[in-house]
Amino acid sequence: MQATDVDAWACFIPRDLSWEGGLNQAILASAGEAFDNYILENVHQPKISQVFVTPAFNAPVSHIVLGVLPEWRDALFDEEQMVVRCYKNMMKCVQDHNIPSLAIPSLGGGKRGFPQKRIVRLTLNVIKSNYPDCLKQVQIICKDDASFGAYKERLS
């Protein structure tokens, strides 16, 4: 992730704490090995929807907000509710840490299997309905034109 003039970056990882995906790899590369070691030493057996606010180490932000998400199977395993809970927990952590601006990666259409239009609707609804008082700006970082188009359509 490039510096986006925000105070914190958010990212999503699976329960096994692997750094899947290009964006997560970029965050890890920016923050450095100390960040990875911090996660391995301080995050033990995370639960789905759990959120952690960590130091940013070498990254050009003050915090990295880490959300734990499930793989999307077929929506019969409460994945939608887990995603909603994760975003709500993320907004609560932003408030608790008084973070004024946040960059969040778009979900959908990738390895995790989240249906794009559905996840866009969930993301925007949860952020809007749980917007922390301290938060002045949210940037949703879209990985491709399809993702950008889905957010643009929903916000129109």
CA dist 39 → 62, 90, 117 (Å): 16, 17, 31
More confident residue, 68 or 117: 68
Q: What is the mean pLDDT of residues 16-39?
A: 90
What's the pLDDT at 111? 54
**Could you give the domains of the chain?**
8-155 (3.40.220.10)
CA dist 105 → 40, 41, 62, 139, 151 (Å): 22, 25, 17, 8, 12
E strands, the chain, are 8-13, 51-55, 63-68, 101-105, 137-141
Q: With contact defined as beta carbons under 8 Å apart, do 140 and 131 qualify?
A: no
pTM of the model: 0.89
